[in-house]
Amino acid sequence: MKTMETYAVSFGNVTRHVPVHEPMPGVHIPLVSFLGDVELTRVFAEQLAKHVPAETQMLVTVETSPIPLAHVIASMVGLPYLVVRKHRRSYMERPLIQEVESFMLGKKDVLWLDSRVAEKMLNQKLTLITDVVVSGGTMAAMERLVRRAGGEIVGRLAAFRQGEPETDVFALAELPVL
């Protein structure tokens, strides 16, 4: 359907008419982004903050699009957060590397965790934060990274679930596959 160029996503008092992407013929997915959207980020962060388990000592997110959400949730609950990277940086030392299959990119994604960030996870209770969970592959790879770094996952939170993720994640809202 060539006419389906935007899709209305509503949450609380906020509505966004987001672009629709066609990753493969006949499959259309709404593209919600917290990047650049202070108001949308705030309303989701306020609700997600209530679901951060009390024993959480740190939040963990992954670049790039969930970063504003994790930042605002962290400021609300008064916890630090760590960012798993999707690209190698020249300053990384002995990074942990974890492969992931990403639905959005249609190729093997690789997660990178600088050893100086990984050290902060040791013996910590961490809650994962992301924006959209589709297959759950990225979240599962983040979880493996955290465990390899000696941390323990106590929560898995997403703003949106899209489809049927294979991972046990709490999502505030559903995004359809059109």
Binding site for a second copy (CB under 8 A): 19, 21, 23, 31, 35-38, 41-42, 63-64, 67-68, 71-72, 74-75, 80-83, 85-87, 89-91, 104-106, 116
Shortest Å, Cβ 38 to a second copy: 5
Specify burial of residue 118 (Cβ count, 10 A radius: 0-12, 13-18, 19+): buried
* CA-wise closest residue to 127 among 153, 146, 166, 160: 153
Q: Minimum distance from CB of 5 to a second copy (Å)?
A: 10
Q: What is the dihedral of CA 40, 46, 50, 51, to 10 degrees?
A: 20
Q: Six-digit token pair at 11? A: 């949450």
Distance, in Å, from the CA atom of 151 to the CA atom of 69, rounded to the nearest integer, reads 22
Burial of 155 (0-12, 13-18, 19+ CB in 10 A): buried
For a second copy, the closer of residues 37 and 170 by Cβ is 37
Q: What 3-state DSSP class applies to 103?
A: coil
Closest distance of CB 61 from a second copy, Å: 9
Query: In terms of CB distance, is 95 or 168 closer to a second copy?
Result: 95
Task: Quote the DSSP letter at residue 85.
Answer: B
Cβ closest to a second copy, residue 10 vs residue 78: 78
Minimum distance of a second copy from residue 89's CB (angstroms): 8
| Residue number with CB closer to a second copy (51 or 120) | 120
- With respect to a second copy, which residue has the nearer C-beta, 1 or 168? 1
- C-beta of 21: minimal distance to a second copy in Å? 4
